[in-house]
Amino acid sequence: MRSLSINFAAPQPSVAQSAPRAGWLLLAAALLVLALLLSWYVALAQRVAQAEENIAQLRRPLASSVRLEGPKSAALAGEIRSVNRAIGRLSLPWFALFQDLEAAKDERIFIVSLQPSAARGEVRILAEADSFEAVADFLKALNARPGLRNARLLAHELRGQNSVQFEAQCEWLIAR
Segments making up each domain of the chain, as ranges: 21-62, 93-172
State the alpha helices, DSSP H only, in the chain: 18-59, 62-65, 70-90, 94-104, 132-144
User: At CA 169, angle to CA 165 and CA 158, rounded to 5?
Assistant: 15
pTM of the entire structure?
0.51
Q: 3-class DSSP state for residue 2?
A: coil
Q: 3-class DSSP state for residue 24?
A: helix
Write down the pLDDT at residue 143.
92
Are 142 and 104 a contacting pair, CB within 8 Å?
yes
Write down the pLDDT at residue 176.
47
Average pLDDT, integer, range 112-130: 90
For the packed helices 132-144 and 94-104, what is the interaxial angle rounded to 10 degrees?
140
pLDDT in tens, 136-171: 999 999 999 988 989 999 999 988 888 999 999 999
Cα dist. 62→65, 67, 109 in Å? Answer: 5, 10, 52
Domain 93-172 has CATH 3.40.228.10: no
